[in-house]
């Protein structure tokens, strides 16, 4: 399935315009692809309509173009790819990995409390496996979960080194699809990375916690594992991740050069001092290659 050679991608969710934080992920993924002589794809992750802002996808695409990002292939929209997610879901279900779950959030919290393992605030709840052996009579399906057995997922991150996660202890059986039809990000990203032949995933370390679940799904589906590189996310003055939700400022197309230099500085690379966008890209690629030890 995977094509030969390097294929990277930037996969923003259209919950707002491009900002200084998402620019870092876009820039690093593009520089890494260029430094490897590879291809770079743009995928709009529009799978969660209630969290999307009308016009944000077009805005992100326009801003990226104005900043000199040129995708090496058609832009893909997850919202148009439901049949692919369904196919992967059916395969997992047919193989016995998926089961229906009827638990409400409150039931999960109560059950965890009874076991004396109430989750800390902001921490993901570990699903206690209540519905593993079937629903109660008359209980409605709220979601479908994939089974996580007692495995430790180990992988190497290009920036962070060796990582591991005991999935059963960190998240437990996780949701692939909600009863209202919403696909989980974990499934969609794994399906698309595989079908697009993505070999390298360069993204913010806010997604580090999703990596083990994604590798688990790749393994169940028999798909190759991409190389991962997680980058420190940009934080605001309060130390919170810069995000569309916390009101990060939209990038202005007439400020492309300073914004790109700032993103490069966040990656730990000295300013290029370029006076034009083409000059910026010409200089930033070898600088990234030197910084990451990439030989072409």
Kindly state the helix (H) or strand (E) to which residue 200 belongs, with its residue range: strand 200-204
Q: Return the number of the residue (72 or 206) whose C-beta is nearest ligand GLU.
A: 206
Shortest distance in whole angstroms from residue 182 CB to ligand GLU: 14
Q: Return the number of the residue (60 or 143) whose C-beta is nearest ligand GLU.
A: 60
Rounded Cα gap, residues 57 and 75, in angstroms: 11
Kindly state the helix (H) or strand (E) to which residue 137 belongs, with its residue range: none
3-class SS at 154?
strand
Q: Return the number of the residue (10 or 67) whose C-beta is nearest ligand GLU.
A: 10
Q: Return the number of the residue (13 or 272) whose C-beta is nearest ligand GLU.
A: 13
Shortest distance in whole angstroms from residue 45 CB to ligand GLU: 4
Rounded Cα gap, residues 55 and 153, in angstroms: 38
Q: Return the number of the residue (14 or 128) whose C-beta is nearest ligand GLU.
A: 14
Determine, following the binding rule CB under 6 A, whether residue 12 of this chain makes contact with ligand GLU. Answer: yes
Of the candidate residues 81, 142, 177, 203, the single one contacting ligand GLU (CB under 6 A): 203
Residue 145, strand partner residues? 99, 175
Shortest distance in whole angstroms from residue 188 CB to ligand GLU: 9
Contact (Cβ atoms closer than 8 angstroms) between residue 12 and residue 21: no
Kindly state the helix (H) or strand (E) to which residue 164 belongs, with its residue range: strand 161-166
Name, in order, each residue with C-beta under 8 angstroms of 184's C-beta and a sequence gap of 6 or more.
Answer: 174, 175, 176, 177, 178
Rounded Cα gap, residues 72 and 56, in angstroms: 21
Shortest distance in whole angstroms from residue 93 CB to ligand GLU: 24
Of 41-100, which residues contact ligand GLU (CB under 6 A)? 45
Q: Return the number of the residue (26 or 92) whose C-beta is nearest ligand GLU.
A: 26
Of the candidate residues 6, 13, 26, 33, the single one contacting ligand GLU (CB under 6 A): 13
DSSP state of 253: G
3-class SS at 271?
coil
From the number of C-beta atoms within 10 Å of its C-beta (0-12, 13-18, 19+), residue 288 rates as buried
Binding mask 138-157 for ligand GLU (x = CB under 6 A): --------------------
Shortest distance in whole angstroms from residue 214 CB to ligand GLU: 8
* Nearest alpha-carbon partner for 248 in 263, 235, 261: 235
Count of residues of this chain found to bind ligand GLU when the rule CB under 6 A is applied: 7
Q: List the 98-101 sheet strands across, edge first.
A: 98-101, 143-146, 174-178
Shortest distance in whole angstroms from residue 203 CB to ligand GLU: 4
Determine, following the binding rule CB under 6 A, whether residue 207 of this chain makes contact with ligand GLU. Answer: yes
Stretch that binds ligand GLU, among 5-13, 53-61, 247-255, 266-274 (CB under 6 A): 5-13
Determine, following the binding rule CB under 6 A, whether residue 244 of this chain makes contact with ligand GLU. Answer: no
The footprint of ligand GLU (CB under 6 A) covers 11-13, 45, 189, 203, 207
């Amino acid at each position: 399935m995977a094509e030969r050679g390097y294929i990277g991608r930037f996969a923003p969710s259209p919950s707002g315009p491009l900002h200084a934080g998402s620019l870092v992920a876009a820039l690093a993924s593009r520089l890494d692809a260029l430094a490897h002589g590879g291809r770079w794809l743009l995928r709009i992750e529009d799978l969660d309509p209630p969290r999307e802002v009308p016009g944000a996808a077009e805005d992100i695409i326009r801003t990226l173009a104005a900043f000199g990002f040129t995708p090496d292939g058609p832009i893909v929209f997850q919202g148009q790819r439901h049949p692919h997610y369904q196919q992967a879901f059916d395969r997992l279900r047919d193989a016995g990995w998926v089961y229906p779950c009827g638990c409400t959030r409150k039931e999960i919290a109560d059950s965890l409390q009874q076991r004396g393992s109430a989750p800390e605030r902001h921490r993901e709840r570990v699903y206690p496996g209540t519905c593993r052996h079937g629903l109660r009579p008359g209980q409605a399906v709220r979601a479908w979960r994939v089974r996580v057995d007692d495995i430790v997922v180990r992988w190497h991150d290009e920036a962070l080194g060796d990582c591991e996660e005991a999935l059963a202890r960190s998240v437990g059986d996780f949701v692939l699809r909600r009863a209202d039809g919403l696909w989980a990000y974990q499934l969609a990203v794994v399906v698309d990375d595989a079908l697009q032949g993505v070999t390298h995933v360069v993204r913010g370390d806010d997604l580090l916690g999703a990596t083990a679940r994604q590798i688990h799904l790749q393994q169940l589906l028999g798909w190759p594992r991409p190389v991962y590189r997680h980058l420190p996310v940009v934080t605001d003055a309060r130390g919170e991740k810069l995000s569309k939700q916390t009101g990060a400022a939209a990038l202005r197309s007439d400020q492309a050069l300073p914004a790109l230099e700032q993103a490069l500085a966040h990656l730990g690379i000295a300013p290029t001092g370029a006076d034009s966008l083409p000059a910026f890209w010409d200089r930033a690629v070898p600088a990234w290659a030197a910084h990451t030890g990439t030989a072409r």
